[in-house]
Amino acid sequence: MTKLLQTLVDGVSVGCLYGLIALGYTMVYGILKFINFAHSDIFMLGAWVSFIVARALGWANPDQPGSLGKALFVLAAAMLFCGVLGFIIERLAYRPLRRAPRLNVLITAIGVSLFIQNTGQLPWLLGTQPQRMPALLPDSTLLTVAEVQIRQVDVVVIITVLVLMGALEWLVHRTKVGRAMRAVSFDTRVASLMGVPVDRVISITFVIGSSLAAAAGFLYASKYPGLNQPAHATWILLGLKAFVAAVVGGIGDIRGAMFGGLLIGMIEFFGAAYLSPHLKDVYVFSLLILVLLVRPAGLMGKPVLEKV
């Protein structure tokens, strides 16, 4: 029972993070029909920027108690930084290729990804050493249910993700710009004929997706404070799992991304807890293969007749 609940808590909170990252993949794919490989690097930078901001403000001192205010400040800073970066990347790297074949854009995205990882490791930027994220939230147990200690971080992770998801749902379904985003993702040319400034909508999409990834980066670093160096394989693997979440949920589908994230988180943690911890990546990618075989459009996506 204890093990079950503990696994559930971990699965949900990490699954929420996958979902948050998956949103960026899925929104960009929905509009531009390409996979933004640099998205996992934005997530990585979200974690690193959180660390750097916290350190610069002198909040890295372990004697100082954390507080919710500090955590929110750092979260906002990371989201802002990555939002701006996402805007710049789209502007400089992807927009000039708007009429180019999709393969060119895909290769460019890989280039952007490698660029971020490798410049990130420059000694005067983030360096090649792993770091430790200061605990901005008091690392306390919030409550104990059936001997399971529910940590404050996990609660903060889940609540933050729910709030961000709710905000995104509201934006996409209840605002003018959200309506424009849905229109552009359905048919870019017709949207432009209706007076929608397509390039601006694409920029907004990148800003939103990147700031959500930054939030995920911050939350991930809060849960797992050991911060790997920018080009470390963990980041790529985490990004890849989030991408799997987007595909499993149905790429292009916002609710699907969230659902896919939760599913991937659960499978990973339950597999690790009850089968074998060494194979946790295997479960995730087996699920991907299974979904692609049985429902190529994803669990929540609508089947489309398009070959990529």
Residues at the site binding other proteins, with contacts judged by CB under 8 A:
176, 179-180, 182-183, 185-187, 189-199
Residue closer to other proteins (CB basis): 191 or 204: 191
Smallest gap, in angstroms, from Cβ of residue 97 to other proteins? 17
Residue closer to other proteins (CB basis): 192 or 234: 192
Q: Letter for the amino acid at 189?
A: R
Smallest gap, in angstroms, from Cβ of residue 32 to other proteins? 17
Residue closer to other proteins (CB basis): 42 or 180: 180
Residue closer to other proteins (CB basis): 82 or 196: 196
Smallest gap, in angstroms, from Cβ of residue 116 to other proteins? 30
Smallest gap, in angstroms, from Cβ of residue 146 to other proteins? 44
Q: Which residue has the tokens 């930027």?
A: 125
Smallest gap, in angstroms, from Cβ of residue 176 to other proteins? 7
Smallest gap, in angstroms, from Cβ of residue 84 to other proteins? 24
Smallest gap, in angstroms, from Cβ of residue 31 to other proteins? 13
CA 103/CA 278 separation, integer angstroms? 35
Residue 298: Cβ-neighbour burial (10 angstroms; 0-12, 13-18, 19+): buried
| SS3 annotation, the chain | CHHHHHHHHHHHHHHHHHHHHHHHHHHHHHHHCCCCCCHHHHHHHHHHHHHHHHHHCCCCCCCCCCCHHHHHHHHHHHHHHHHHHHHHHHHHHHHHHCCCCHHHHHHHHHHHHHHHHHHHCCCCCCCCCCEECCCCCCCCEEEEECCEEEEHHHHHHHHHHHHHHHHHHHHHHHCHHHHHHHHHHHCHHHHHHCCCCHHHHHHHHHHHHHHHHHHHHHHHHHHCCEECCCCCHHHHHHHHHHHHHHHHHCCCCHHHHHHHHHHHHHHHHHHHHHCCHHHHHHHHHHHHHHHHHHCCCCCCCCCCCCCC
| SS3 annotation, 234-273 | HHHHHHHHHHHHHHHHCCCCHHHHHHHHHHHHHHHHHHHH
Residue closer to other proteins (CB basis): 3 or 173: 173
Residue closer to other proteins (CB basis): 189 or 307: 189
Smallest gap, in angstroms, from Cβ of residue 304 to other proteins? 12
Residue closer to other proteins (CB basis): 162 or 194: 194
Q: Which residue has the tokens 């529910």?
A: 150
Residue closer to other proteins (CB basis): 10 or 253: 253
